[in-house]
Structure 1
Amino acid sequence: MVKELSEMTLEELWELFPIILKEYNADYPKWYEIEKDNLLENFNDGIIVRINHIGSTAVSGIISKPTIDILMEISRDSNIAQIEDKLKSMQWNLMNSSETPSFRQTYNKGYTKYGFEEKVYHLHVRYVDDWSELYFRDYLIEHKEVAGEYVDLKMKLKDKYEHNRDAYTNEKAAFVDKYSKIAKVEYGNRYKLEINAISF
């Protein structure tokens, strides 16, 4: 009998869901739009302040994990318990939740006890802020040579940490942090929003 995901050890989960890197899929933007529209339809009461496609699948043409990362920024007076309940009813699975140093929750879709489905999503729920992921995405889009360096790094790390997601992510951190800071200097306050501003 195949174990449920909730019954598996971290090592078993990493074995079932290894780091996979694939060529860019032109359907990624469509997959993002489907889930974005679904989220906006279900949270039509002003909770969502801004929603964006982030991560490497948001950068056309580069090799990446075939996972659509969505950053859903919410107002600071949101009822978190209600958001959790609504997302669970929409078949989102809560992966992790933290309050420090800032509120963050990550949900997923597309993980099964038999492995990945065709479409895999991560939903990052946070209070609205000037998030580095938005700047890093834009920088890769506008600086192809840096995007190429990032792909080379990921390919090396995939070979080393195929079954260790934490190590794979941690080893990328210095590169991501470096170019996020450069991007924030270059772009200024591109993503700094007034609390009442809405951007989809």
Structure 2
Amino acid sequence: MGKKLSEMTLEELWQLFPIYLTEHQLCWQRWYSEEEGILRKALPATAGISHIGSTAIPSIWAKPIVDILVEIPKESHLLDYKASIINAGYICMSQSENRLSFNKGYTEHGFAERVFHLHLRYAGDNDELYFRDFLIEFPETAKEYEKLKLSLWKEYEHNRDAYTNAKTEVVKKYTTQAKKKYGNRY
């Protein structure tokens, strides 16, 4: 029997869970909808549950990982939600005062068929919604973003942090444009 995920170094985890991209899959929306239903039953009242990340953007290549944003009321406490999310099959990956991140679908043998990243935040901490909507509304911008991701894929296949950091400037640029365009949509 191999190591437990909790015993692996970051480098070992990156080897076991490399970055890989695939063409957009119609099943991602269904996976999100099914997982949203599970979360709505498992969690106390939330301000919103949303499909974010590249799997929410039709027609672009993405890591086959469904990102979910759960926004809770500002008067709530993040830790009040933690046990319910863990009971829904997630592993808490990081925790700060204003954010918790969870993963589901990671095994000692690699990715499961369905993989989810859940981002638990206070209502209003939702830049990803603006970015998502902007790329959906402007498919040519989405294709530019896809081109960037494809160019970074092999270089950072085993370094998720570097892959994410290499996209940050572009993500911030389009998020800023989206916030100007959409105002207080969220």
Following the alignment from structure 2 to structure 1, what is the Cα–Cα distance between the partners of residues 128 and 106?
23
Residue identity in the other structure for 2:29? P
SS at match of 1:25: coil
SS at match of 2:51: strand
Gaps of 5+ in 2: none
Following the alignment from structure 2 to structure 1, what is the Cα–Cα distance between the partners of residues 121 and 182?
22
Q: How large is the Cα RMSD of the aligned pairs?
A: 1.0
Q: 1:50 aligns with which of 30, 48, 51?
A: 48
The corresponding residue for 2:93 is 95
Match runs of 1:57-136 below 5 Å:
57-99=55-97, 103-129=98-124, 131-136=126-131
Q: 2:101·2:119 contact (CA, 8 Å) conserved in 1?
A: yes
Q: 83-92 vs 179-188, which deviates more?
A: 83-92
Match runs of 1:136-175 below 5 Å:
136-175=131-170
Q: 2:47·2:71 contact (CA, 8 Å) conserved in 1?
A: yes
Following the alignment from structure 1 to structure 2, what is the Cα–Cα distance between the partners of residues 88 and 36?
15
Give 1:130 shift: 5.2
SS at match of 1:170: helix
Residue identity in the other structure for 2:80? Q
Give 1:33 shift: 0.6
- Do structure 1's residue 3 and structure 2's residue 21 form an aligned pair? no
Following the alignment from structure 1 to structure 2, what is the Cα–Cα distance between the partners of residues 79 and 183?
29
SS at match of 2:47: strand
Give 1:188 shift: 1.2
Q: Deviations over 1:144-182 (max 9, x none)?
A: 111111111101111211000000000000000000000
Q: TM-score, normalising length from structure 2?
A: 0.97
Following the alignment from structure 2 to structure 1, what is the Cα–Cα distance between the partners of residues 41 and 113?
23
Change in 2 beyond 3 A, CA 1:92/1:130: closer
Following the alignment from structure 2 to structure 1, what is the Cα–Cα distance between the partners of residues 182 and 86?
36
Give 1:12 shift: 0.3
Give 1:81 shift: 3.0
Q: 82-91 vs 116-125, which deviates more?
A: 82-91
Percent of residue pairs identical: 51
Superposition misfits of 4+ residues, deviation over 4 angstroms: none
Following the alignment from structure 2 to structure 1, what is the Cα–Cα distance between the partners of residues 79 and 51?
24
Change in 2 beyond 3 A, CA 1:29/1:165: same
SS at match of 1:24: coil
Q: Deviations over 1:110-137 (max 9, x none)?
A: 0001000110000000000052100100
Following the alignment from structure 2 to structure 1, what is the Cα–Cα distance between the partners of residues 25 and 52?
15
